[in-house]
Amino acid sequence: MFDKLKQLTKDTAIYGISTIIGRFLGFLLIPLYTNVFSTKDFGVYSNLYIFSAVFNVVLVYGMDAAYLKFAAVRTIGDEKDNFSTPFFSVFGASLVISSLIIVFKAPIYGMLDIPPEFYYLIYFVGPVLFFDSVSVIPFIKLRLEHKAKKFASFKMINILVNVSLNLYLILKLKWGIEAIFVSNLAASFASFLLLFPSIVKSLKFKIHTELLHRLLKFGLPYFPAGLAAMLIQGIDRPILTHLTDLDTSGLYSANYKLGIFMSLFVSMFQYAWQPFFLQNAREKNAKEIYSKVLTYFSITAGIIFVVLTLFISDIARLSIQGHSLLGKEYLSGLNIVPIILFAYIFNGLYLILMAGIYIEEKSIYVPIMTGFGAAVNIGFCFFLIPIWGIIGAALATLASYLIMAVGYFAITQRFYKVDYEYAKLGKLLISIAIVISIYYAQLFTNSLSLINKFLMLLLYLILLAIFNIGKEELIFLKNRFLAQKQKS
């Protein structure tokens, strides 16, 4: 079993290093944006970014999940069939829809509450959507072939092109927010060019009709699910803009991005987790492995959550040559960050709990559950934002991820029961609750200091030791280290 976990850990590390470095380089743009652009400009960028993310799901319409499923087992058609059929399907849909987006820019901008002076940005958004969408299937192919290093290098080049162009256009040429979209377009086109030789090599200029039918049957239920999942991640921004203004939305969006540290962990785990659980589903001890994975994930996520909750305000206020991580105009929104971090934990948990749905091909539950999560998010946004503003928007996101995690657990346990380590998970939750309660008690009484934060972190580690949380994992790592040392 530990050999299987080691494989997952290795893949996670490779995907994770590229994801962490790439996202971190991208994250370095946040100080640039928040120290140069107004909250209104950031609000426009944020709303268009969410629009792009939602339509990336529309253009792929579940073919990513279907390709991952059928290419992994290849029960219909050969290798080229399994690549070409979903690729051409996504290519055609992307070309048509991205063109229509440009044609109907006025009503789209009206929906997003974006002023007419920003209409020209749609001429960059449409092509970005096209190149990003047609690159999805080729990138998944790299993951299935365990070409993690190639995958990572392509992603890194994308980020480096994006970041370097942003810096040049904003700092050197003094462009406005159009610099962000021009840079995105150049980076997306660079990724497509890098993937192009692999695409041509894998293509068969014929669509396998039986395979397409199976792909659509499996993948289409994931389309509304993917759409709902993306709405959960971003619908709060347009709603917040509608109920308040672009300045408030910009303030919220910039601070939301500080959740990147937990988001990075969840993302790098997800890249390795999906191929891993599908390829190990037939192992006799598969369920035991999945149980351990959830425990390991929770322990790691718990440590990240506690550290960032305690120190995020200090990190955000770090000043270099008079410029802080967040522009001074944005610092008032820091109180939403712990809520977003906690929400991302439940995001990771429901990704793990979804394994049974993939394995048993019960994809009908996915749109139901994620649709309900999106509905919860939208409902809570309209209810909580008028009362608590940006905190209400953050709580709506947390509520939706929590509902989805609980829902997936209840559903999958009916047909793919896994005995998770409930006692250990309960102790972990108690440890987090104790430390965070002390943190907020001191925060509200103005007795919080940097020394006290370090003491609270120490308390958390002591609680983990008292509850023996992580002991088994440390023993495993120690044994593996000794084994490797003996081999060398």
- For tokens 């950031």, the residue is 42
Q: Which SS3 state, helix, strand or coil, does residue 112 take? A: coil
Rounded to whole angstroms, what are the CA distances from 19 to 15, 128, 323, 412? 6, 20, 26, 29
Q: How far apart are CA 228 and CA 350, in angstroms?
A: 14
Please calculate the CA angle 261-181-244 and round it to the nearest 5 degrees: 70
For 57, half-sphere exposure in the C-beta direction (CA atoms, 13 angstrom radius) is: 20
Give the whole-angstrom CA distance, residue 97 versus residue 94. Answer: 5
Distance between CA atoms of residues 370 and 363, nearest Å: 11
Report the Cα 121 to chain-centroid distance in Å. 25
Domain boundaries in the chain?
2-420
Contact, 265 vs 15, CB < 8 A? Answer: no
176 token code pair = 């406005």
pTM of the entire predicted model: 0.83
| Ramachandran angles phi, psi of 340, nearest 5° | -65, -40
pLDDT of residue 131: 97
Structure tokens at 83: 């690549």
Query: Are 381 and 239 spatial neighbours (Cβ–Cβ below 8 Å)?
Result: yes
Question: In angstroms, what CA-CA distances link 78 with 203, 207, 410?
Answer: 11, 12, 37
Angle between helices 390-415 and 365-388 (to 10 degrees): 160
Residue 330 · residue 293 · CB < 8 Å: no
- Three-state secondary-structure class, residue 324: strand
Q: Which two tokens stand for residue 307?
A: 């550290």
DSSP string, 219-273: HTTHHHHHHHHHHHHHTHHHHHHHHS-HHHHHHHHHHHGGGHHHHHHHHHHHHHH
State which H helix or E strand residue 167 sits in: helix 148-167
Helices (H) and strands (E) in the chain, counts: 23, 2
**H/E segment holding residue 320:** strand 319-320
- Please tell me what DSSP assigns to residue 323: E
Q: Spell out a b/e string for 283-306, using b for 16 or more CB atoms within 10 Å of the CB, else e.
A: eeebbebbbbbbbbbbbebbbbbb
Instruction: Give residue 325's region: left, alpha or beta (phi > 0; psi -120 to 50).
Output: alpha
- In angstroms, the CA 142 to CA 154 distance is 10
Q: Per residue of the chain (488 residues), what is the pLDDT tens digit?
A: 545 555 555 665 566 566 666 667 667 788 899 999 999 999 999 999 999 999 999 999 989 888 988 887 777 878 888 999 999 999 999 999 999 999 998 898 888 899 989 989 999 999 999 999 999 999 999 988 878 788 888 988 998 899 999 999 999 999 999 999 999 999 999 999 999 999 999 998 888 888 999 999 888 877 887 788 889 889 999 999 999 999 999 999 999 999 888 988 888 788 778 777 877 787 888 888 899 889 989 999 999 999 999 999 999 988 877 778 888 899 999 999 999 999 999 999 999 998 888 888 787 788 888 889 999 999 999 999 999 999 999 999 999 999 999 999 999 999 999 999 999 999 999 999 999 999 999 988 888 999 999 999 999 999 988 887 766 655 654 554 444 445 44
- 3-class SS of residue 177: coil
